[in-house]
Structure 1
Amino acid sequence: MAKSSERGRVTIYEVARAAGVSISTVSLAINRPHKVNALTRQTVIDTAVRLGYRGQAHIPAGKRIAVAAPFSTYPSYYLRLTGMLTYSSSADVDIVVHDLPSTAGSAAPVLDALPVKAGIDGIIVMGAPLSREATRTASLPGPPVVLVDVPDSSGLHPDIPVVLIDDRRGGELIGRHLADRGHRRVAFVHEPQRSTEYLSAGMLRAEGLSRHIEVVPCEAADLTALAVQLDSALADPRVTAIVANHDQLAAEIHAVLAERGPHSIALAGYDGSATSELLGITSVWQPFEESGRAAMRLILDLASGEHANLGSLVLTPRLMVRASTVPAATSPHD
């Protein structure tokens, strides 16, 4: 009998894994069977029956949820949104999207005003820390709030559920991998962070890296600055690897290095995107969609009057090793 990961109940994730399909296919086969071909539908149903799946917990109907995130700055938030849409696909849930400015590029990154409008039953904020004033305006009887990708390092919001992916752990995974391949000093390339009022994902990744390898911080606001930083890093013979704060930045570094001809520098990114896979760049895969599903589940529970027992949910990333992290070249001074 399948072991459940959720209070003794078989989950939709277990059914999807056993049937060899996505969770959205399982949801459609059960809730909208006319949208799935007969063979797939029968496979899903047979698997669900065999495992003892009883369906998802009740999702309240008629809810309107606001989702705010820096979507246009970091496309990875769309993947989290996909998870939210998947989870709420079988319920009457209206998702209202708000695009926020980049947190790293803001001198005052904290969000003082939540997107509260008439008829909003809950708010999910991703990638933007909240001020104390923001939570005061959202306190009861206002709509409940769930945070995603916002480490509450200051302890300002102990009553707000938080869904996180362990960025410190992700940095450790890259650091250990590079150290095992003989690297001892790495350049960590990231965008400038204008404010120190919050703990960013990049700061946590760098901290994780530093537990296994020496880290040289390199800020790059644009492609020109990136080229300068790479020149500076590569001028140091002890730097044998580069780690980018996210895959988009890793792809830009890959292009710059390719223009300069053959090299022995190792390169790693972060996010586990299709771009990193296409370019053969080692990266840390993050369960973005799962974090979105978890956040939607929490906010719908809160919106229906259920008290969440979970203060924070921390998901685990996974290292995807590819050809870009070549072993460090041996040196006569080693």
Structure 2
Amino acid sequence: MRKPATIQDIARAAGVSTATVSRALSHPERVAEATRSLVLDAVRRSGYRVNRTARNLRRRRSGSILALVPNLANPFFSEILSGLSSVLAESGHGLLVGDTHIGPHPAARLNDYLAAGMADGVVIFDSRLPDGMVFEGARPPMVLACEWSRPNLPSVRVDNEGGAALAIRHLLRRGHRAIGHLTGPSGNVLTESRLAGTRQALSEAGLKLAPDHLFPGDFGLGSGASAAERWLALRDRPTAVFCASDEMACGFMGALRHAGIDVPGAVSVVGFDDIEVSAHLVPALTTIRQPRRLIGERAARLLLAMIEAGSSQAPAELLPVQLIERQSVAPPATTPLDG
């Protein structure tokens, strides 16, 4: 029977020290790519298996990271979680996902979970969690992703205000002057920052957001459809609407289509997020792309660095966004008088 390979065998086969092998397996980001390739090739040829359970016991760690998501049914989070999982897998960590909106007592469940030491770190996607879920008692390192309402926690987010301004400037370039905005839920940091970017870009053009062109929403499909009903009821309708999420844009466009209203013939629409379905709508949705996979990857690397350093603090990261032009925007059929 073949004797199991040891870390010393891997070191000899790769021509490196055992310490280098250990670093390449435990912290691959700290090892040069060429050296890491030598070690991993030796591991594959030898059939060596890392005893992660024993290693985690020695380090008093669970080997798991917990992601707290406000709604797992929301397609926005899928690619972010994929990026998060891929980086964690490289470091030998497993990913656990919890929906913060399920169950009657989420705070108690989370407290019990963390008190049992079942997660080495937490990535939070829901800024509306009560302080008791985030700050009570001893907590592992935590990172906010996408939303950043707590300045004392490290965060990875995109330039939401700048993205909204990109959307509005695009509509202005296409000739629109009466531009509406479909917001997210009241009090949400994303809602506020995207509304600020909208107002700023309009102000730069000498325009203001008319009160009846501001439609309340909640980032969901239903609120997009409700906004379409409000738009239809207006006597002086905006010729373009910037929606603070793609899901709302989908609901908005779908309701207008059922009412026989042409997009972009009667109204142009821009979304925010670039979820997968956006490119497959009819017409395909112009939107602001968030680098969702990169958000997950950066959040994972930031959290892993904090865990390794034994720190609860790290610098915030702000990622750029991109305008994706598709077919849901056209020049206005009629251009209303400015002012």
Q: With the length of structure 2 as denominator, give the TM-score of the two structures.
A: 0.68
Percent identity, aligned pairs only, is 22
Kept in 2, the 8 Å contact 1:271–1:286? The answer is yes
Correspondence 1:82 to 2:71:
no
Worse overlay, 66-75 or 302-311: 302-311
Count residues in correspondence. 273
Shift of 1:246: 1.4
The superposition leaves residues 150-175 of structure 1 with CA deviations (integer Å, 9 ceiling, x where unpaired) of 223xxx542x2111111111101101
Shift of 1:29: 12
8 A Cα contact 2:225 2:254, kept in partner: no
**Separation of aligned partners in 1, 2:237 and 2:309:** 57
Structure 1 partner of 2:24: none
Query: Over aligned residues, Cα RMSD in angstroms?
Result: 3.7
Q: CA deviation at 1:111?
A: 10
2:155 corresponding residue in structure 1: 162
2: distance between equivalents of 1:249 and 1:257?
Answer: 12
Cα deviation for residue 307 of structure 1 reads 4.4
TM-fit CA distance, 1:226:
4.9
| 8 A Cα contact 2:68 2:125, kept in partner | yes
Mapping 1:136-147, distance limit 5 Å: 136-137=135-136, 139=138, 142-147=139-144
Equivalents in 2 of 1:162, 1:111: separation in Å?
24
Please point out which of 326, 329, 332 is paired with 1:325: 329
Residues 1:227 and 1:84: Cα distance change in structure 2 (over 3 Å): closer
Asked whether the 8 Å contact 1:240–1:266 carries over to 2, the reply is: yes
Matched, 1:303 2:274: no
Aligned mate of 2:193, from 200, 204, 208:
204
Report what 1:182 is aligned to.
175
Relative distance call for 1:307 and 1:241 in structure 2 (3 A) is same
Tell me, in whole angstroms, the C-alpha distance in 2 between the residues paired with 1:228 and 1:307. 45
- Deviating beyond 4 angstroms after TM superposition, the runs of 4 or more aligned structure 1 residues are 27-35, 109-115, 220-228, 306-309
Question: How far apart, in 2, do the equivalents of 1:89 and 1:74 lie?
Answer: 23
| Matching of residue 150 in structure 1 with residue 121 in structure 2 | no
Structure with more of its chain in helix, by fraction: 2
Displacement of 1:319 after TM fit? 0.5
SS at 1:324 equivalent: coil
2: CA distance between counterparts of 1:178 and 1:319? 11
Unmatched 5+ residue regions in structure 1? 1-10, 16-26, 36-59, 103-108
Worse-matched range after superposition: 236-245 or 165-174 = 236-245
Structure 1 Cα separation of the partners of residues 245 and 173 of structure 2: 22
| Structure 2 SS opposite 1:326 | coil
Question: CA contact under 8 A between 1:69 and 1:127: conserved in structure 2?
Answer: yes
Q: Which is further off, 253-262 or 92-101?
A: 253-262
Q: Which amino acid aligns with 2:91?
A: A
Residue 233 of structure 1, CA deviation: 2.5
**Residue type of the alignment partner of 1:329:** A
Q: 1:31 offset after TM fit, Å?
A: 5.3
* TM-score of the two chains, using structure 1 as the length reference: 0.69
Q: Which amino acid counterpart does residue 148 of structure 2 have in structure 1?
A: P
Equivalent residue for 1:274?
Answer: 276
Counterparts of 1:285 and 1:265 in 2: how far apart (Å)? 21
Aligned-pair CA distance for 1:135: 4.1
**Partner SS, residue 289 of structure 1:** helix
Cα deviations across residues 51-99 of structure 1 (Å, max 9, x unaligned)? xxxxxxxxx9962111111232522122111011111222321211111
Q: Could you tell me which amino acid in structure 2 is paired with residue 184 of structure 1?
A: R
1:291-327 alpha-carbon deviations (Å, 9 max, x no partner): 1111111111121225487421011110101121111
